[in-house]
Amino acid sequence: MADERAERIGEFIAPLRVRPGSKVDLSTDFDPGNKAGIAGKKDGQELLRTGVALLADYQRRLAAENRYGVLLCLQALDAGGKDGTIRHVMSGVNPQGVHVSNFRVPSSEELDHDYLWRYARRLPRRGEIGIFNRSHYEEVLVVRVHPEHLDRQRLPDEAKRKGVWRRRYREINDWERYLHDNGFRLVKLFLNLSKEEQRTRFLKRIDVPERNWKFSAADARERAWWDDYQEAFSHMLSATSTKWAPWYVIPADHKWFARICAAAVLAHTLIDIDPQYPEVDRKTRHELFVAKEELVAAAPPGAPADPYAASVEADAERRNGR
């Protein structure tokens, strides 16, 4: 069954995957308004519910096995839907097994270290799903579009010379390969938003009082660098989509569809890991048997000896029409 689900989900997300070694041009290669033939939000609700339930199941297995960790990296321009994606896609999982990190302007302490240091400190543990709301890719996006941020990083002169971005791509790829080799799987999602949809969402944040807090005038001013960001994203996707950590470009103009895609990519990763509940050894199994006998013997008058087993049997009888 897992193989069948993985195959179906794999077919669905295949068009979103950036083929390692390919050259990406966001303006022509990916459509932010794509819905993959799904008519509308109502038609996609059941798909999202299925994806969320699947994630909940596999997240429990991931935590129980405690062998692999998963890092979900979300990148998007402002109003791209990162927060809503996290909220909806992870709605069914145990919050104890998920940790979200938001990365904003680096602190003085963080600037005293290498540029990957603050991200390495927030990596998930084995059995966990870590989410980076913006990630280490800010170091080749906003820092590239606004080179003054590079000056703030107190780098030696030779580290800022020609080739800095090519070198950072290599360093990031090597770091992600190291994480993969040590049992940490990376899920990298770029929420691809059109310029007009961003404008619409900004206006809604201004027009609806309850959304005013989400708007910053600086976000609107950043639109002046739209083309520069599109170029930086294209370079990033081309240089850092690898076999061990591929990028997926998520059409983000329709929030409901972006959430379906995000859930599908994450579910596919967990199915591929295929975490299993640990099997207990013979000694522990015997201890369980002894404990069960004691609990069964402690049933009060009129109560079933094993309420759980009784409910399972009753459900089976109902399904069989008895």
Spell out the SS3 assignment of 178-237: HHHHCCEEEEEEEEECCHHHHHHHHHHHHHCHHHHHHCCHHHHHHHHHHHHHHHHHHHHH
Two tokens, residue 20: 């390692």
Two tokens, residue 199: 């404008």
Can you tell me the distance from the alpha carbon of 39 to that of 146, in angstroms, rounded to the nearest whole number?
40
Please tell me whether the overall predicted TM-score, pTM, comes out greater than 0.85 for this model: yes
Q: How confident is residue 234, by pLDDT bands cut at 50, 70 and 90?
A: very high
Once rounded to an integer, what is the mean pLDDT over residues 104-116? Answer: 94
Give the pLDDT confidence of 138-190 residue by residue, as tens digits: 999 999 999 999 989 989 988 888 899 999 999 999 999 999 999 999 999 99
Once rounded to an integer, what is the mean pLDDT over residues 25-31? Answer: 95
Specify the higher pLDDT residue, 320 or 230: 230
Q: Name beta bridge partners: 72.
A: 131, 187
Mean pLDDT of the residues in the chain: 93
The pLDDT score that the predictor gives to residue 88 is 93
In 93-183, beta strands by DSSP E: 98-102, 129-133
The sign of the dihedral angle between the CA atoms of 142, 143, 148, 153 is positive
Can you tell me the distance from the alpha carbon of 258 to that of 264, in angstroms, rounded to the nearest whole number?
10
Can you tell me the distance from the alpha carbon of 68 to that of 179, in angstroms, rounded to the nearest whole number?
10
Q: How confident is residue 322, by pLDDT bands cut at 50, 70 and 90?
A: low
Can you tell me the distance from the alpha carbon of 141 to that of 210, in angstroms, rounded to the nearest whole number?
30
Torsion-angle region of 160 (φ positive above 0: left; ψ -120 to 50: alpha; else: beta): alpha
Two tokens, residue 64: 């129980």
The pLDDT score that the predictor gives to residue 228 is 97
